[in-house]
Structure 1
């Protein structure tokens, strides 16, 4: 089962936990933290860590302030200065629970028997009424704080759920392409599956250096396909066909070794040119000693683009082999 499906199932379960009040606030925060980790949502992971463990004592740093704002923990004192309540969600829940227990306990006021009428019970004078009022105010105040945090978590989980649900349909469509490529690419490049597996593992890593590695792997794989279909050679119509000119070589193969329509060939060539330029730019930056900045989104996009291109190439290759067999 993919991480996306794991995350989708956990998100759906967590929404029910919140809406049906099946878990304590602390357990909801912990479960949400696990969901953030599975979904690779690093901002949410940082935010929820504060909700589970509490916020720093004293002045807050930029990360904890951002997390507190996300949970609606802002308040203002009498001077209009912004403050943040910093107790963990577990502590807030405990105060709410304790307040309700104390309210119930204060209802058991001591009673005495009236000397004038022994059959009449009279409540003993006490401060229980005022005490219960204070406890109710405390319970309402802290329940409001708890509801704000749980509301923020519910909103995040709900948004992630629909994102994952929509993305699942896209993933299923992509799986069709991926399955086709994985089953056939080894005929052209024997170690292609090793390269693709490496690229996928790097793309889901939490290390930004691995994301650049995923892009580099995609480039090497496309070059390997070019080496198999159109080995380096002499220039053609002024276009270099050397070892490093793998994009030119693939374009030459597409144009001269495919019976596909001109429009279809143009689409594949355009996609290849765009993807190749992006990957070459990253490689050139690395060769010059510059740090190649690749986001996780970009790494995933390079992998998807590589798979779609390989699917087109394999289809053209199969059609070419069939035509040769029919001759």
Structure 2
């Protein structure tokens, strides 16, 4: 098991434990915060680490909540920041918990029996003043408890929202991994059986993407084009004879017309026009992007390919191979799709 897999597995366990603590446990909030910070560390979530550090130690007097990045939403939605007033609470969560506890102790220690037991005062005014002060103190304690309790519960809800989002993200990651693992097995089997030379191209593409420079990203997309050409060579070798598509249109299927050759292979193995159209549109989109990169590089024109664009193109290329892998191995005998 890789270090990343171990870390993600531990993060999943911590997220589940954190949710359990928030929903059922009587742990003090400082221990809950420590567990939340551990989750943020395992997830490499620097925004959460900063946010939780402020929740643990308190917020500075001059602070902009945009500094929390992705965790700004948790701080604001939990009531830490009052957008209408433009103010925020600086007390840490442990300090607010202590305020709640202190107010609770004061309420519990108030005894109506003790008030009623004042019988030795000879002055009526003194008795009324004592009772009035006791009532005011009790009211103040109730208001303090209610106020700090509401704030505390709201801030804890922010922690719960964060823990829930992290747990769901980890679950989604597992589901996506299972889905892609299944697709990867299909694609690997397809490549080994029908176009083993394509495996070398896939390895080369991965190495160039990992290099993460503009030149390497451009080279990776050029390799994606070569990969599709290699697959086309294996599945539908180039021919001087034109291929007639389902609409009766003649298409060139020479060496450079790899897209038409892939379309021909798909058409011969697809009995649904809608499926063929969907896969064909995916190929059109992918080929147009890769061909544009290839033509510019051939002319010596600089191509500024972002890391995101390169990754998406590589993913689309790989998923297209998955589409090809799911097609029947033998032609369906579609008489419209024949070579002239």
**Structure 2 partner of 1:308:** 319
Matches within 5 A, 1:216-255: 217=220, 220-221=223-224, 223-227=226-230, 229-230=232-233, 241-242=255-256, 248-255=257-264
1:291 shift after superposition: 6.3
- 1:260 pairs with one of 269, 274, 288: 269
Contact 1:198 1:214 in 2 (8 A): no
Moved more, 127-136 or 43-52: 127-136
1:18 shift after superposition: 0.9
- 2:77 pairs with one of 70, 75, 81: 70
**Greater CA radius of gyration, 1 or 2?**
2
1:84 shift after superposition: 0.3
Distance 1:290 1:228, change over 3 A: closer
In structure 1, what is the Cα distance between the partners aligned to 2:215 and 2:87? 41
- 1:288 pairs with one of 270, 290, 302: 302
Q: Secondary structure at the match of 1:189?
A: helix
Matches within 5 A, 1:82-93: 82-93=86-97
Contact 2:58 2:90 in 1 (8 A): yes
Distance 1:162 1:221, change over 3 A: same
**Alpha-carbon deviations, 1:75-102, whole Å to 9, x = none?**
49xxx84310022323323443455567
1:50 shift after superposition: 3.6
Distance 1:319 1:12, change over 3 A: farther
In structure 2, what is the Cα distance between the partners aligned to 1:132 and 1:50? 32
Matches within 5 A, 1:109-148: 134=140, 137-148=143-154
Q: TM-score, normalising length from structure 2? A: 0.59
Distance 1:171 1:50, change over 3 A: same
**Structure 2 partner of 1:121:** none
1:130 shift after superposition: 6.6
In structure 2, what is the Cα distance between the partners aligned to 1:179 and 1:15? 35
Question: How many corresponding residue pairs?
Answer: 292
Distance 1:227 1:86, change over 3 A: same
- 1:25 pairs with one of 23, 29, 34: 29
1:179 shift after superposition: 2.2
In structure 1, what is the Cα distance between the partners aligned to 2:279 and 2:38? 41
